[in-house]
Structure formats: C-alpha cells, structure tokens
Amino acid sequence: MRPWLIALSLSGLLGAGAARAQPSGLSLAVEAQLSAGEESDHLSALRQDEVRLFGTDSQNAAAPALGALPLAATSDAPEVHVPEASGSRDLSWLAGMQLPDLPLRWDERVVRYLEYFRDDRRGHGLMAAWLRRSSRYGALIDHSLERAHLPRDLRCVAMAESGFDPTVRSRVGAAGMWQFVRRTGEEYGLTQDHWSDARMDPEASTAAAARYLGQLHRRFGTWELALAAYNMGYGALLRAIRKFNTNDYWVLAHLEAGLPFETTLYVAKILACGVVMRNPERFGFGELTRDPPLDLVRVSVPGGLSLSLLARAARLPREQLQALNPALLRARTPPGAHSWPLRLPRERAASFSARLRRLRPRHPANRAYALRFGESLAMVARRFRTTARALRTLNELENEQNLGPGFALLVPDVSPRPDEAPSERPVVGVPPGDYHLPGKRRIFYRATGHEDAASVARFFSVTRDQLLRWNRIDPNARLTRGLMLQLFVDPAFDLSRAVVMSPDDVRVLTVGSEEFFEWQQQQVGRVRFRYLVAPGDTLSSIGQRFGIGVGSLARINRFSRRRTLHPGDEILIYAERARVPARYLPNPAPSEDAPAPCPTPSADETSADEPSATDDAEGPARP
C-alpha cells in the first residue's frame, strides 16, 4: 500500500474545523470572501496566549547580547549545550532531548514555547490536539517531504499554520493546512474558483508546500531564513537582509526593527514543535491516543454531481464525504471539470461506481455551461428553459457581479433554445467617422453594467485607447447597462465566447445626423421638422400650436427660452404627427426596412432630449 494513501482519520474529521460552514463563494473576487473566514478555536486561543507570553514589551528584554547567542544544534550535532539556569528557573529538563532535523538554538522564545507546551494547561491541551490530529496526515506529509528531500520536521509548519486542519482560513485570505494566500497558491498550481479551492486539498497543498519551502531554502541557504520567508514573504525578508547587511536569521531576530515580531515567534514556534514531536514522552504525551489513519483512494467522478448523490452512492453521511474532500467549496463537484478525483475510504470504493450508475438516472440531470462575455443569468435561464432564481439556487450564487466569461455554470440538461432574435434590428448610434478598418471584423457589444472599458478591451484583444476612439465613452465612467459599443477585432477572434452582433444584425446610425434624430422621434410617434417662423409667432404660441413646451423648444434648438423670434427664423420642432402640417411631413414614407415605431416609453425610459408638452417652468431645462 502506498504510504500517501494512509492519510486521513475518519474519526475526528468532523471536528470544529471540518464542521464549519463552507465559504459563501470563491471568485475571480473570491479573496474578499476568504478573508472573512474564521480561524480555528485552537489557533485563536494560541494567538491570545502569545500576546500574554511574548507581549511586544518583552522582545528586547528577552534578547541576549549578540555575542552570547548559542550555536545551532541539530540531530546530527555530536553534543547539545543546554542553556544555563537563570535564577530560580531550572532548565536542566531540556538535557538529553532528541533534536529535530531542523537547526535548533535554545533561544529564549523557543524555550518559552517548550515551557508553554509542557506546563501551561491550555498550551498542553493545544499541543495534545495537534499531536492527536497529526496522524491523520502524517504519512501524506512524510511522503511528500521525503520525495522532495526535505527535513521531516518541516511537518511542524503545517502544525503551526493550521494545527493540521485543511479547512482553516485566516483573516488575511490564507487557506488550507499550509495557509497559502491566493497568489502564491496559484503560482504553485493550487487553482481556486467558485467551486473548489486546491489550497484546501491535503495532497495538492502538501506537495505545493514542499516545492515552495524547498525553493525558499535554495534561495536563502538556511532553514531559519526559509521559514521566516514563508511567514513574512520573500521580498520583505530580502529587504531586511540588505538593510542590516546580515544573512544571519538570529541576528535579524534580535535587532531593533529587524524582523516582524510575529515572524520571530513563528520560527521559534516551529522549532519548539519539532522538539515536542521528537520527544512526546518528555512533555507528557507518551500515553496520548492518536487518531488512526484511514486508507483513502481517489475515484474519478463526473463534474457537476451533487454531494448528496455521491454520499448515497458511497453509503456515507454527506457531511462525512464533505470532510474527506475539503477542497470542494459547494455541495457538488465542479461543473466545469470533465472528471473530479473524489476521496473515499478504500472499503467504500469497491461498490461505489456501480451504485452511482444506478442512482444517477433518478437524479435531476444538469450539465456545465461556460458563460459568455456579456451574458446575463436571465439570458442563460431563457436559453435553458428555467429561471434566473433557479440558477442562483442551483449554483449557490449570491449575485452576478462575480460571474465572468468562462464561468462554469450548472444548467438543466435540456435542449437549449437558440439566442433570442430581436423582433427588429436594434439601432446603434456611432460617432461620425469612417469605420472600415482593413483586416478587421466589425462587431457590436451590448454592455451589461458589470464591466468597464478596460475589461471589454482586454477581453476582445484591443487596446483601451482604440475602444475609446471607436465610441464616445468616458474612460472613468461606468458602462451603463444597454450601452452599445462598436469594436474592430481580429477575424480569428473566437466570437462564440461572447454575446455580440454583426453589422447585419443592427441598423447603424451616425449620432447627430438628420437620419439619427428623425429615427429617434419616429420611435415615440413624433415628427421632427424645421419650422419657418411667421410674423407674430412666439415660443409660447408655437409650443401651444404643436403641443410642445417652451423649455423643450429651447433645449432642442439650444437657445434660451426667453429668446425673441423673428419672421424667417428656422427652428426645430418635435411634434405628434396629427399636429404637423402636411407640408412638413416626411416624404416619401419610411422604407420597409426601417424599424417600426415603438410605443411611447414610460417616464423613466424617456431620453433627456425628448420634449415634454408640460416643460414650461422657468429655470433650466430638466436633465
């Protein structure tokens, strides 16, 4: 049997960490949700005790003179020099300890942690819980470290980071047994999305941690510096080394402003954990009952299956199956995955596949659908004959802002409807200019209200400046839902990944042209015409005659509502067809391919430049 299969203990997996509610979401905004996660009760208690034991005022008091720093000792050292007793403090009990395979100094902070784990009731109980849980993942961690040729006691990193709990999340967005932050996790192959987070996969995250720790050691040359970099970051440690012109961790740890105080505690804590794990009897853990390991195997299952169905097939409680697969963030396997490696107890795996085949036909049939750029849940719901509300429930979505192109959405497995064709070609207003770019394909994209100019340009592989040049949009303003953008893309661009229209699908009008304004008024049943002012005409009399307010007349013609008209002046008027003299009616009639007039829009749909018959109040025209 391969040692990494003997990895988890079924008993105890459903403790406080595993039983916590899974996060509400993980998206390409996903990190804000993770940062709201909880620490385990054990780790929270430890941080409180660290404040009590190592309060910042004690940092300098606990630091020995630099010349008095003891030499490093390891399990390979021929002799170990125990620090001498200080006053009434007897440290002779440290003699004869089996040392970890990490370099150890009897630094004051290391000794304090050892005393805490041995003598403090809460510290002793905390270490007991860690040691009990360590056997669940011990073989897995040992195998990964051995394969990477790393010291075995680096397992204490997982102990200090999470207490060997793969479900732990920190307040700063780190997750999993090894507490990878999002960016570092992605760099080491730990993918994260709405459905799963590989940082919480014990096997994947352990392999990634081994690679990361090995690289840090190769970069800095000592394990003390590698551990410090794991905690505070590679760049921050490098700056500290250059600032103080020393690459000795212990010198940096005792210099004023040398390292973050938390980092000095972190390295000391790992070294102390290594001593305890090598000498459990000396700390009162000789009779401790360890969690028995469980033989696990991975069984490939399709993506998009609910954990309830899989649990029935495995004859396990759903909560237990979730605990065995902590990387799953939702109540199902990721829909976008062709297959997913489900972790099961070996004795359950033999009959699992056959039972799953029998149960699946009675389970609601769903399938994965890759969301297109510019596609809303309402559009997807119509296409797959369901509702947006049902899709939100099925996919455990709180809102649509976290959705993006390529998002693996679970939809009913039905024959999809084709995209809904508009009853008439939509009109797109474009700026004046010649928009025939050789070697480019012209398309039109309708904004959803969730994107900005930069994201649209990035998706369609054009520059932001090009997008601004082709459209009259402010780069700092939001793209209002329904705004139509014209783009010129490479002919090889895959348009199936977005909801777009071709020039044949729309009617293009130049904004500001006669045709544009005439079409705008046609949509609300009005006629736009130029009226020749006759003797005696005033703005008020013309407005009464044609059913249009003075304010609207002034706004349309861009002059003051107090303007005096003179015979022969020509002004623009928007009026209902029945009020327009025959000589001003358009001739000939609109062509057959022109869009039919739409019903008069409601008040909140009326555009700013459409006149109102009651717009006669003094003051500026309404916006």
Query: What CATH number does the domain containing 382 carry?
Result: 3.10.350.10
Q: Is 447 helix (H, G, I), strand (E, B) or coil?
A: coil
Q: Could you tell me the pLDDT band of residue 494, with boundaries at 50, 70 and 90?
A: very high
Q: Note whether residue 87 is domain-resident.
A: no
Do residue 357 and residue 372 come from a single domain?
no
The set of residues, in sequence order, having a beta carbon less than 8 Å from that of 429 and lying 6+ positions away, is 484, 509, 510, 511, 516
Are 303 and 238 found together in one domain?
no
- Do 212 and 265 sit in the same domain of this protein? yes
Residue 9 pLDDT class (50, 70, 90 cuts)? very low
Cα four-point dihedral sign 134, 140, 144, 149: positive
Query: Taking 60 as the threshold, does the pLDDT of residue 192 lie above it?
Result: yes
Same domain as 584, residue 460 = no
Query: Does some domain include residue 377?
Result: yes
Verify that 599 and 457 share a domain, yes or no: no
Claim to verify: residue 136 and residue 253 sit in the same structural domain: yes
Residues 303 and 437 in one domain: no
499 lies in the same domain as 521: no
> 401 is in which domain, residue-wise?
366-412
Output phi, psi for 477, to 5 deg.
-95, 155
Q: What domain count does the chain have?
A: 5
- Dump pLDDT digits (tens) for 135-184: 998 999 999 999 999 999 999 999 999 999 999 998 888 999 999 999 99
Higher pLDDT, 524 or 88: 524
Residue 461 resides in a domain:
yes
Residue-wise pLDDT for 313-335, tens only, equals 999 999 999 999 999 999 999 99
Query: Half-sphere exposure of residue 577, counting CA atoms within 13 Å on the CB side?
Result: 11
Domain assignment present for 59: no
For residues 428 and 84, give the distance between their C-alpha atoms in angstroms, rounded to a whole number: 85
Q: How far apart are CA 168 and CA 180, in angstroms?
A: 11
Kindly state the average pLDDT of the residues 497-507.
91
CATH number of the domain where residue 482 is located = 3.10.350
- 1: pLDDT strictly greater than 60: no
Last residue of a domain, one of 335, 362, 389: 362
- Same-domain check for residues 139 and 110: yes
pLDDT, averaged across the chain: 82
Is 543 in the same domain as 519? yes
Domain boundary among 283, 314, 332: 283
Give mean pLDDT, residues 361-368: 85
Are 445 and 594 in the same domain? no
Residue 522 lies in a domain: yes
Does the model's pTM come out above 0.85?
no
Clarify whether residues 335 and 303 are in a common domain.
yes
Q: Which of 9-18, 68-77, 394-403, 541-550 has the highest mean pLDDT?
A: 541-550
Q: Does the pLDDT at position 221 exceed 70?
A: yes
- Would 622 be classed as within a structural domain? no
